[in-house]
């Protein structure tokens, strides 16, 4: 490995990440947590901590969803929902818990998007899903952005029905309010558990009942645990405490089948040849710096398992077979160092050239043929431009790569380790191309192009518009305008901006890369059938 000095920039970014994760872990704040405890209730994170196996990996999904959004409303940490992929009674599953400390667990638009993402993960991977319910329902001031559309609140219950038909286990533990349309979620689950005196399920609460039909009734009589286990028959179990309720969830999970399908090869794992923390030394955070992607790969894969494909062809993308925690994988990674092409020409690292696109497309098709999951390590600035590339058919070769990625049937896992710009985002399996999981490192940047280029392009457009109106702009004003554009663009390219909007499932410490990929493949191995692979029409 190259002798690269410690990357203090990455350590600084990791410190910032850890601080931000600590903030969202407080949900609605310490006062709200204290109030939850005063009611004899656990917080969402405490409930999850009690439920999941302590000796198994716990991977949080969407921890930074909602980051910096809804500030006028007081914010929405973690989208008001805490969610993990973890193990309960030895079974890998998803656990989704409403955070009652955030606006009484009300659903913001990003809350709906996050819950739909979690159901998507459950459906793609055939994972059981456990809902820990404690929610006031839709956040009414924003109801038009959460209620009526295809990917809004109602899609949750549609997915409940679809998952049931697919044979995916759904368990709902009602530990607080479950109101209005939200009342359908536990009832459309396989089994429903309630906590006496705290859990309630009804289409309309006492105030609305009084306004609608003039009936005076209290919460417990209307829709408490006794009512629904002894009168309506809606719920299956009632418990005096949350802990007893969660213990019953564990007992239910203990009896589930542990079926995993042998789609993917796995052998006894080996640790990487170099410590995972060497990633900090390999990947620079400063713009424009280069590194050898193969050094990064060696920090992630099992020792001596990486077999490079077409080593001397298409060098700005590195492809190869390897193992991660024993699982066979195919790796497609952008090479960030400057390389020589087959004709001796220098090629820019991070740029996709014709030969690189051709090689990667062929490799992806091979992995589908062999049923080998794909891992994309993105640090891409886009496709090569200019007359030479256009005349050589860069659009055709790029389309070939995009086609192969889009039609892949093996699970795909994407890690954004640096830049993710333009069509390179698509070709390297960005969010639009259905990766099973997609994570970003703290130094990631996601945008249609780099900040400097974008700012200058936008500046030219704005200056031309002002001149067309007969307005002159002096150099100082032009520089100020450029800086304003750059500042806005930098915010929008940040990994936090992406994580807030669930363009990525989370921002992770780079040393977690191996773990999240291995757990992702373990999840994907629950899928009963892989569909046949076909790319349709490709220009060659």
Cβ proximity of 139 and 107 under 8 Å: yes
- Closest Cα to residue 335, out of 401, 445, 436, 424? 424
Instruction: Count CB atoms within 10 A of the CB of residue 36.
Output: 21
Give the Cα separation of 290 and 288 in Å (integer).
7
pLDDT at 241: 97
Query: What is the predicted pLDDT for the residue at 24?
Result: 97
Residue 151: Cβ within 10 Å count: 10
Return the pLDDT at 8: 83
What pLDDT, on the 0 to 100 scale, is given for residue 474? 79
N- to C-terminal Cα separation, the chain: 37
Strands 91-98 and 412-421: unpaired
Owner of token pair 């990525």: 504
**pTM (two decimals):** 0.93
- Residue with structure tokens 């820990």? 132
What pLDDT is recorded for position 179? 86
The pLDDT value given to residue 41: 96
Q: Strand, coil or helix: what is 98?
A: strand
Instruction: Retrieve residue 103's tokens.
Output: 């606006």
DSSP state of 56: S
Give residue 257's Cα distance to chain centre: 27
- Which residues, in sequence order, are bridge partners of residue 95? 84, 130
Burial 303-320 (b: 16+ CB within 10 A, else e): eebbeebbeeebbbbbbb
**Whole-number pLDDT of residue 341:** 78
Q: What is the pLDDT of residue 62?
A: 98
pLDDT of residue 3: 43
Identify the CA nearest to 419 among candidates 232, 221, 287, 261: 287
What angle is formed at CA 84 by the lines to CA 105 and CA 188, rounded to 5 degrees?
60
- State the Cα–Cα distance between residues 522 and 516, nearest whole angstrom: 10
Contact 442, 14 (CB under 8 A): yes
- Beta carbons of 64 and 499 less than 8 angstroms apart: yes
Q: What is the pLDDT along the chain (540 residues), one digit of tens a residue?
A: 444 444 788 999 999 999 999 999 999 999 999 999 999 999 999 999 999 999 999 999 999 999 999 999 999 999 999 999 999 999 999 999 999 999 999 999 999 999 999 999 999 999 999 999 999 888 888 988 888 888 898 999 999 999 999 999 999 999 999 987 778 899 999 999 999 999 999 988 898 899 999 999 999 999 999 999 999 999 999 999 999 999 999 999 999 987 888 899 999 999 999 999 999 999 998 877 899 999 999 999 999 999 999 999 999 999 999 999 999 999 999 999 999 877 778 888 899 999 999 999 999 999 999 999 999 999 999 998 888 888 888 999 899 999 999 999 999 999 999 999 999 999 999 999 999 999 999 999 998 877 677 777 777 787 777 778 888 777 887 788 788 878 888 889 999 999 999 999 999 999 999 999 999 999 999 999 999 999 887 766
């Amino acid at each position: 490995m190259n002798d690269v000095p410690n990357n203090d920039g990455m350590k600084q970014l990791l410190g910032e990440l850890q601080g931000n994760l600590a903030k969202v872990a407080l949900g609605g704040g310490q006062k709200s947590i204290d109030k939850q405890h005063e009611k004899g209730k656990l917080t969402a994170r405490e409930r999850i901590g009690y439920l999941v196996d302590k000796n198994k990996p716990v991977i949080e999904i969407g921890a930074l969803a909602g980051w910096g959004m809804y500030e006028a409303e007081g914010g929405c940490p973690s989208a008001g929902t805490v969610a993990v992929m973890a193990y309960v009674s030895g079974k890998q599953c998803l656990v989704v818990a409403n955070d009652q400390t955030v606006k009484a667990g009300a659903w913001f638009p990003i809350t709906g998007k996050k819950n739909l993402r979690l159901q998507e993960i459950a459906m793609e991977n055939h994972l059981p899903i456990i809902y820990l319910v404690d929610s006031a329902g839709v956040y009414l001031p924003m109801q038009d952005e959460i209620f009526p559309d295809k990917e809004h609140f109602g899609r949750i219950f549609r997915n409940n029905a679809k998952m049931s038909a697919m044979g995916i286990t759904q368990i709902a533990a009602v530990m607080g309010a479950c109101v209005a349309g939200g009342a359908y979620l536990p009832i459309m689950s396989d089994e429903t558990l309630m906590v006496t005196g705290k859990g309630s399920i009804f289409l309309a609460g006492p105030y609305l009942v009084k306004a609608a039909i003039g009936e005076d009734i209290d919460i417990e009589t209307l829709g408490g645990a006794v009512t629904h286990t002894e009168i309506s028959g809606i719920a299956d179990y009632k418990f005096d405490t949350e802990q007893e309720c969660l213990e019953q969830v564990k007992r239910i999970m203990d009896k589930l089948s542990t079926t995993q399908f042998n789609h993917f090869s796995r052998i006894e794992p080996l640790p990487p040849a170099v410590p995972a923390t060497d990633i900090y030394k390999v990947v620079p955070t400063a713009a424009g710096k280069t590194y050898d992607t193969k050094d990064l790969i060696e920090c992630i894969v099992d020792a001596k398992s990486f077999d490079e494909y077409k080593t001397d062809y298409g060098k700005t993308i590195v492809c190869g077979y390897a193992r991660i925690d024993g699982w066979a994988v195919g790796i497609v990674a952008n090479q960030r160092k400057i390389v020589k092409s087959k004709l001796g020409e220098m090629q820019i690292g991070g740029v996709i050239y014709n030969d690189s696109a051709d090689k990667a497309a062929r490799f992806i098709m091979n992995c589908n043929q062999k049923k080998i999951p794909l891992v994309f390590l993105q640090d891409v600035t886009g496709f090569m431009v200019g007359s030479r590339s256009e005349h050589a058919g860069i659009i055709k070769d790029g389309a070939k790569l995009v086609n192969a990625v889009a039609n892949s049937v093996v699970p795909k896992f994407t890690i954004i380790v640096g830049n993710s710009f333009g069509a390179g985002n698509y070709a390297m399996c960005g969010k639009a191309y259905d990766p099973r999981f997609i994570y970003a490192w703290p130094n990631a940047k996601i945008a249609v192009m780099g900040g400097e280029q974008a700012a200058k392009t936008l500046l030219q457009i704005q200056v031309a518009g002002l001149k067309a109106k007969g307005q002159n702009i002096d150099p100082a004003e032009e520089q100020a305008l450029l800086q304003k554009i750059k500042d806005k663009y930098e915010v929008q390219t940040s990994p936090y901006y992406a994580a807030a909007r669930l363009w990525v499932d989370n921002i992770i410490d780079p040393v977690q890369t191996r773990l999240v990929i291995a757990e992702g493949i373990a999840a994907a191995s629950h899928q009963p059938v892989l569909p046949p692979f076909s790319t349709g029409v490709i220009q060659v």
